[in-house]
Structure 1
């Protein structure tokens, strides 16, 4: 009251769908799992096809920021994560030099992925408040979330998670332009980097890093599930089961 400045009102379209986490897709519901995986692959392919590379100076600053973050992770996380952290640290310059830069979702969990509850098809992705322009692949940690579920006992993959993962990559490569084998190696490295950035740090409400997570933090359950694997390359596709 008493302020002469104009009041701006913004209107946006209401997205249909239900948060993925609320639909309760069962482990044997291959039909809806498959639709969600293929739509997520198309979402990432569209991202790949729209490079938004920043200036060389901004890229250098961004790379230095992530090198600092992985130095923190190397010092702060338990030693079982060290092999993959060290691999990522070596790959970081290549990720920032060779991959396209895209709008990367900062919180691609299953609360923010809306789906058609009957078919599993993705109808929208919401909550972009923490998004940043980053090398492609840093948001691919979200793929794991459509391949299984977390409960009090830890992470559980769907029975057909390997086939679903291969279906994701087949769909992605079918719609993304000019993806080479060298690109795929870097994409998988970026995916692992994103997993550590997403689950290795405690963040404040604005997405700013506060500290490295400890053994007492429940989010390490995700790193235990995704961050220790030694082989980042999926098995060769076998689609007959799908």
Structure 2
């Protein structure tokens, strides 16, 4: 549906009013089905970072759930910004919900992480720092299991099974059919009642993870609009995406990928508290990683992007 109102200027004016700010500018990395700005107050001619907030205008399919944000903050602490719902913008058509949240430190991974298969020791060390922080994110998820509605379990399993079936039917030369059989067999175990169900972000992409540009430590996890309870590991395809890069010549794994994966798993097993003899848990988790990597390969084969961007908001 084409947007009738408001215009971008009207959104900016609304943001200035809600935030009681003196300046507004769009964020560097836009999202999908939303318009997000940074509102700042100034002291004389200087911007005061402590007085900067984010204001996000969101269409109905991209609304933020206050309960989900509250749960995410309970699990991940200050990495997830507090959110305040200001209701629907008057006169917006289609309706736009408005939210404010503090401006977290750091920049989106998309702005910082390079796309070079070979990297120096300093860059490799920073990547290892980032992937360890990511391992702690997943360890926190594992350590705080959540109840899952019984009706959602078969729906989620059917969705993954369907994607594996599509990948098998595509006969991609990158993924032999024999390799897909393992995850197909293991999937039911991951949806069994004894396997942990956790809060998943829903779009753990380069646009939604903030890092310190100097050391690559994680500083924020934003945009929980797709968050929900799912089997642990449903988002572990990010291990595939962050240990390689897409260039004009195609997809390449980083030469330090083995070191990155070793750092991730060492940190995850340690922080999650999974005992060394928990072979069943470890095998199941790795099977989920494998299944998600296959689906990442399918997305890459189709030429899909890492995440949708928001050029179509003002359509």
TM-score, scaled relative to structure 1: 0.72
2:257 is equivalent to residue 168 of structure 1: no
**How far is 1:17 from its partner?**
1.0
The whole-number CA distance in structure 1 between the counterparts of 2:131 and 2:180 is 27
Alignment pair present for 1:10 and 2:108: no
Structure showing greater Rg: 2
Matched with 2:111 is: 22
- 2:182 aligns with 87
Give the aligned length.
Answer: 201
Unmatched tracts of structure 2, length 5 or more: 1-85, 88-97, 306-315
Residues of 1 paired with 2:255 and 2:165: CA distance? 36
Mapped partners of 2:110, 2:283: distance in 1: 30
What's the CA shift for 1:137? 1.1
> Which of the residues 271, 274, 284 maps onto 1:178?
274
CA distance in structure 2 between the aligned counterparts of 1:104 and 1:200, rounded to whole angstroms? 21
Kindly state the Cα deviation for residue 83 of structure 1 after the two structures are TM-superposed: 2.2
- How many Å apart are 1:54 and its aligned residue? 1.3
**Structure with the higher fraction of residues in strand conformation:** 2
- Structure 1's 61 and 219: CA in aligned 2 closer, same or farther, altered over 3 A? closer
TM-superposed CA distance for 1:184, in Å, is 1.4
Q: 1:199 to 1:13 in 2, by over 3 A?
A: farther
Provide the residue aligned with 1:43 in structure 2: 137
Within-5 A mapping of 1:43-122: 43-78=137-172, 80-81=174-175, 82-97=177-192, 98-122=194-218
Q: Give the CA deviation at 1:88.
A: 1.4
Give the Å deviation of 1:199. 5.1
Alpha-carbon distance in structure 2 between the residues aligned to 1:54 and 1:146 = 28
Shift of 1:45: 0.4
Structure 1 runs (4+) greater than 4 angstroms displaced: none
Q: Is 1:41–1:169's contact at 8 Å kept on the other side of the alignment? A: yes
Q: State the distance in 1 between where 2:268 and 2:304 align.
A: 28
Measured after TM superposition, the shift of residue 50 of structure 1 is: 1.1
Match of 2:239 in 1: 143
Deviates more, 1:79-88 or 1:93-102: 79-88
* Candidates 191, 216, 222, aligned match of 1:126: 222
- Pick from 183, 189, 192: which aligns with 2:287? 189
* Structure 1 pair 145–72 and aligned structure 2 pair: CA distance change class (3 A): closer
TM normalised by structure 2 equals 0.57
Relative distance call for 1:193 and 1:156 in structure 2 (3 A) is: same
1:156-190 CA distances to partner (integer Å, 9 max, x unpaired)? 33332211210110100111033522211111111
